A and B are shown apart, each in its own frame.
Chain A
Amino acid sequence: MTDNNKPYIRVENLKKYFHTKHGMLHAVDDVSFHIEKGETLGLVGESGCGKSTLGRCLIRLLESTAGSVFLQNESGDSYTDLTKVSASVMKDLRRRVQIVFQDPYSCLNPRLSVWELIAEPLIVNRVFSNTQDMRRRILELMSTVGLAERLENSYPHELDGGRRQRIGIARSLALNPEFIVLDEPVSALDVCIQAQILNLLNELQREFHYTYVFISHNLSVVKHVSDRIAVMYLGQIVELSGYKELFIKPLHPYTQALLSAIPVAKLDVQKERIILEGDVPSPIEPPDACRFMGRCQYCQDICRSRTPELKEIEPGHYVACHFAGEVGL
């Protein structure tokens, strides 16, 4: 990992609100963190916690409401704020920041062949002037992600989920990006295929030194791929730390409950299951309070009146809880 003062991406006070009939929906509510070059940052949380929205804001597929996403320039000494640059500058930056989508069934245009799908990023960015070079590049990409050459004329619906996801990955790699947001890339796949895709992503990172943000609700998968993990709850990051620390010593009560709820494919695992009461509250116009207060067994008065900040409790271990380090250990 590089110098902590010069991370690869710096996210500062990022907010994304949506207008709804019932009021302002705080999908991402004041999030700050950084991403090191070449690392995988896992982003976990339950549905509706804003992890996918955050992922899209990071690469400006969605316009943020407020805050900044600073991306280190190629020279390495200055930063560009992705949320503020013009559309034409963003178009150039698209080559550097890419996304792989969750659902390999709906993220591919059913009327384009494998060939056309992988060629699209190359064509729209006018990467190659002659078709020979482009052909070579497409075949190279197909072999990189493990798609047989003979599939080039197939259509997505003729392929299984694993292969479709490989197409999605090939598309995102086409422009030689540095940073890739993986939005639940294996959630729609069976375990065996899931393992194949996870290995592929791992290999690619080793070979091309990509920086990943890996979004998932599956904690086992996130732990397997991540260097550091951020846990989100209702639009906010409640805990962020190295993956080992997070699993050995979770400090936020929500993380503790989340970890204890994972079904483990082993017998005789002695663990106290913390069953959370109730459901995730509505993200519409949340009060200035700890978002987790309604379901937290340690809730005190202060939790109901002030939003806890994300503080560095131990080196590299950030927690947003008024009683971090004191409860549930």
Chain B
Amino acid sequence: MTNVNMEMIPETTGRKRRGPLAEVLFRLRKSPLAMFGLVVILLLAFLAIFADVLAPYPYQKQHLQHMFEGPSAEFWLGTDEFGRDILSRLIYGARVSLQVGFIAVGIALFVGGMLGAVAGYYGGRIDNVIMRVMDVLLSIPQTLLAIAIAAALGPGLFNMMIAVGISAVPNYARIVRGSVLSIRGMEFIEAARSVGSSDMRIILKHIIPNSMAPIIVQSTLGVASAILNAAGLSFIGLGIQPPFPEWGAMLSGGRQYIRDFPHLTLYPGLAIMVTILALNFLGDGLRDALDPKLKR
């Protein structure tokens, strides 16, 4: 007798169930720009991973009789001032740029996320102290902060990642804190508490999954700015050291010949631009795809 209401409920759309990742991919497919971004990033990752096989020449190989050459069948994108193949250097450079981008964001997300989550969840004095420190850091331009840290740590790939990562920490702390704060005040958190859920379960099962969307989006966009920052550091000589190729360093190296041989700066510049653009498209697409209310 308690299920009298069963037959009153009409049939609704019986939708196939997909896993969460498949669901996001499915919805991402609706945005051509985001798909373009995803494809470009995957392509770059492929190039970076198999650089040893794919690059026509080793990155440091100098062809001294082919200096400053324009694009040709032999050197598709031409050669630089030491006769090194620009295409090969770009392919190897993707390795550095992507590594720096993702690892630096990883560092920023980890440190910033922890600080933000603690500040948001516990509130009060802890929140105040953490966020005021973050405010101080935010008041310094991010690039300047990265330069200062890189200068203190000395040049090198790893130090560059740390410098870029740390300089982005306040951004992530802010976003995670805001996200946690808004979720923490929601009624379903209280509902979870009312059935006896522990703090740990509430954080893991309710707060984190619901605060992920803005963080994923910010991280994607953050990779772009990390790559840009790293290129900036290399450009002023605080990043990767020659002869290892890095897009920013290549740009910086080609700068003195820009009048006569613009292709030295053109191609690294294009590589940076396309990557950043792709990441931004992807980030925007993810923002829409991750909103559960836009489903269907």
Contacts and interface: CB of A to CB of B under 8 A. Distances in A.
Question: Is A–B contact present in the complex under a CB 8 A cutoff?
Answer: yes
Interface of A: 59, 61, 91, 94-95, 98-99, 101, 103, 106-112, 120-121, 124-125, 143-144, 146-148, 150-151, 153-155, 157-159, 163, 168, 171-172, 174-175, 196, 200, 203-204, 207
A206 B192 CA distance: 27
B184 to A, nearest CB: 13
Contacts of A168: 191
B141 interface: no
Nearest to A151: B12
Nearest to A152: B17
Contact of B191 (A95, A107, A147, A153): A107
Contact of B194 (A94, A150, A159, A203): A94
A108 B192 CA distance: 9
Interface string B224-241: 000000000000000000
A148 B191 contact: no
Contacts of B193: 61
A120 B295 CA distance: 24
B196 interface: yes
The 10 closest A-B pairs by CB, nearest first: A146-B5, A121-B195, A94-B196, A107-B187, A106-B187, A109-B188, A143-B3, A107-B191, A124-B197, A111-B209
Interface of B: 1-6, 8-9, 12, 14-15, 17, 186-188, 190-198, 201, 205-206, 209-210, 292-293, 295-296
A110 B293 contact: yes
8 contacts: A94-B195, A98-B195, A110-B210, A143-B6, A146-B4, A157-B295, A171-B195, A203-B2
Contacts of A120: 192, 195, 197
A101 B295 CA distance: 25
B186 A125 contact: no
B8 to A, nearest CB: 8
B195 A146 contact: no
Contacts of A207: 1-2
A18 B145 CA distance: 43
A108 B190 CA distance: 10
A121 B201 CA distance: 12
Given A91-B196, A124-B197, A175-B195, A110 B292 contact: yes
A20 B105 CA distance: 40
A203 B1 contact: yes
Given A110-B292, A124-B195, A196 B186 contact: no
Nearest to B207: A109
A125 B196 contact: yes
Contacts of A94: 194-196
Contacts of B192: 109, 120
B292 A111 contact: yes
Contacts of B205: 109, 112
A63 to B, nearest CB: 12
Q: In the complex, which of the residues B191, B193, B197, B209 has the most CB atoms of chain A within 10 Å of its own CB atom?
A: B191
A228 to B, nearest CB: 24
Q: In the complex, which of the residues B186, B193, B196 has the most CB atoms of chain A within 10 Å of its own CB atom?
A: B196
Contacts of B8: 146, 196
Given A106-B188, A108-B188, A157-B295, A143 B194 contact: no
Contacts of A159: 12
Q: In the complex, which of the residues A94, A101, A107, A155 has the most CB atoms of chain B within 10 Å of its own CB atom?
A: A107
A157 B127 CA distance: 33
Nearest to A149: B6
B196 A204 contact: no
A226 to B, nearest CB: 21
Given A157-B293, A196-B5, A101 B187 contact: yes
B292 A174 contact: no
A204 B193 CA distance: 23
Given A103-B187, A110-B293, A124 B201 contact: yes
Given A107-B187, A109-B206, A148 B197 contact: no
Contacts of B197: 120, 124
A59 to B, nearest CB: 7
Nearest to B5: A146
Contact of A98 (B194, B198, B295): B194
Contacts of A155: 292, 295
A207 B2 CA distance: 8
B210 A109 contact: yes
Given A108-B188, A109-B206, A125 B5 contact: no
B9 A124 contact: no
A175 B194 CA distance: 11
A93 to B, nearest CB: 9
A175 B195 CA distance: 8
A103 B9 CA distance: 21
A143 B2 CA distance: 8
B212 to A, nearest CB: 9
